[in-house]
Amino acid sequence: MDSINKLRVGVLVDEKPRAGLRGEYGLSLYIESERWRLLFDAGSSYTTLGSNASAMGVDLSTVDLAIISHEHFDHTGGLAALARSGTRAPVLIPAGASWRLERAIEDLGLSAKRVVTGSEVLPGAFLLSQQYGPPYEQALAINLKGRGLVTVHGCSHPGPSKIVAKALNDTGVRPFAVIGGLHLAWSPPEGVRSELEALASLGVKVLVPLHCSGSLVMRESSSFGIESREVLAGDWVEF
DSSP character for 229? -
DSSP character for 124? T
CA dist., res. 68 & res. 185, Å (int): 21
Res 62: pLDDT? 97
> Measured between alpha carbons, how far apart are the two ends of the chain, in Å?
19
Phi, psi of 238 (to 5 degrees): -110, 135
Instruction: Spell out the domains of the chain, with CATH numbers in brackets.
Output: 7-238 (3.60.15.10)
Residue 192 contacts residue 217 (beta carbons within 8 Å): yes
Res 91: pLDDT? 98
pTM: 0.98
Res 19: pLDDT? 96
Res 16: pLDDT? 96
Pairing of strands 175-181, 148-153: parallel
Q: What is the mean pLDDT of each run of 10 residues along the chain (239 residues)?
A: 97 97 98 98 98 98 98 98 97 98 98 97 98 98 98 98 98 98 97 98 98 96 97 97
CA dist., res. 63 & res. 92, Å (int): 13
Torsion of CA 211, 215, 217, 221, to 10 degrees: 120
